[in-house]
Structure 1
Amino acid sequence: MTMTTVIQRAVWVLFLWPYLLTCSLPLDCREDHGSFSRCPSISQEKLLDRVIQHAELIYRVSEESCSLFEEMFVPFPLQLQRNQAGYACITKTLPIPSSKSEIQQISDKWLLHSVLMLVQSWIEPLVYLQATLDRYDGAPDMLLNKTKWVSEKLISLEQGVVVLIKKMLNEGMTTTAYSEQGLLQFDGQPEMLESVMRDYTLLSCFKKDAHKMEILLKLLKCRQTDTYNCA
């Protein structure tokens, strides 16, 4: 893709960006004093719909961020190198069902906790990613803003999922912070190539996991309405 095409795409998305944000439906689960007083007042069905819409938008923006980073900083040979080198995603060790048969067999409870595990495991890495992208020469503000926006919305999604767990399963607040279990190690100052590939891997893995969050939540929604026909 030529630089002219990249610039044209960046300008086009820049004009659409405010519209995309205004189209999203915020979870609005936390008031100024930090309580979860609004989400419990929403019906379970509407809360689940809002959580799904939140996850959809997070995945869409993560996809745009990954594509933009790829076009700006990752030549095609390095894209192949990432695939061939088999860079592992930081959530690979989490007990998240991956195959179709595994997902179909797990309970609604485990679907929700799987989403929560994914959300919590990415909060800290996205904060790191914001800091490291600030050090890139020529990193467009659009990429930085998208990464910051996704990081903030991920925290909001976590709040919505926690309230949904309480509402659907009558459980207490879930406090397990999977991002603190050594999933991420950042030591020293790597060479530029390694830094680019590491950040590219983070963006690619997050895009994949954001899609998985969306799929699991939609499966949960399907189970609420059509238990026997949710492939």
Structure 2
Amino acid sequence: MFLHWPLALWLPPLPSGFSPGSRTSLLLVFALLCLPWLQEAGRVPSVPLSRLFDHAMIQAHRLHQLAFDTYQEFEEAYIPKEKKHSLMENPQASFCFADSIPTPSNLEETQQKSNLELLRISLLLIQSWLEPVQFLSSVFANNLLHHTSDSDVHDLLKDLEEGIETLMWRLEDGIPRTGHIFKQTYSKFDAHSQNDDSLLKNYGLLHCFRKDMDMVETFLRMVQCRTVEGSCGF
């Protein structure tokens, strides 16, 4: 497995006065000059583990914040307070496919998991959302805080998926790991419908998305704390 995460991670920050376009040019020059050698050598430069974790944590936090804000905004707009409790007791809204993954349910159980186990669970959670995010296209489009789309969210998920795979590869000392990829998908949702059934389904889906992204960020933070010196306590 080759490290093919964002090329920008290999380059130091630009000096002051350089524009983003200058960085793009540097990346292009780097790729043209170095990639033939990298292909011949059979590997790519080793990115510091701390930098890989920093990038993964940024993406995980963005996804968690997006999930939290979208859920809260949707709830305030469409779910009456007096109905919130009864709606979440409805199996259609409260069941998440992630419940079928053996995830730790509290801090003690989380601490008992190895770094690779926590990364593996995080990877499964991310992969389980690569398809379902399209069912929330209109919900994301109407988000007043983030102004994003389902394709933007999908790109964030794919980037984090790749990042977690890279971290697993590094922690395994480059030994490839095989295993079942979580391919469960949610039932299709009529995101454009305004009937109560559609609102309930979207509410449930957003609840699961928020819950899963919270777990991913928590698990990644714990692995980073264990692995990278000086990264705890934030």
User: What TM-score do the two structures reach when normalised by structure 1?
Assistant: 0.70
Q: 2:57 aligns with which of 52, 66, 89?
A: 52
Native 8 Å contact 2:119 2:164 kept in 1? yes
Question: Does structure 1 residue 116 correspond to structure 2 residue 123?
Answer: yes
In structure 1, what is the Cα distance between the partners aligned to 2:148 and 2:56? 22
1:1-231 correspondence to structure 2 within 5 Å: 28=6, 41-86=46-91, 87-130=94-137, 133=139, 140=142, 142=144, 145=148, 147-169=150-172, 170-172=174-176, 176-178=180-182, 180-181=183-184, 183-186=185-188, 192-225=195-228
Unaligned runs of 5+ residues in structure 1 are: 1-26
> Shift of the alpha carbon at 1:194?
1.3
Instruction: Give the counterpart letter for 1:172 in structure 2.
Output: P
Identity %: 25
Instruction: Give the counterpart letter for 2:70 in structure 1.
Output: S
In structure 1, what is the Cα distance between the partners aligned to 2:198 and 2:45? 42
Q: Which residue of 2 aligns with 1:21?
A: none
Native 8 Å contact 1:48 1:221 kept in 2? yes
Unaligned runs of 5+ residues in structure 2 are: 9-26
Native 8 Å contact 1:120 1:158 kept in 2? yes
Alignment root-mean-square deviation, CA:
3.6
> Shift of the alpha carbon at 1:118?
0.6
In structure 1, what is the Cα distance between the partners aligned to 2:60 and 2:83? 29
In structure 1, what is the Cα distance between the partners aligned to 2:190 and 2:48? 48
In structure 2, what is the Cα distance between the partners aligned to 1:100 and 1:68? 28
Paired residues, what number?
194
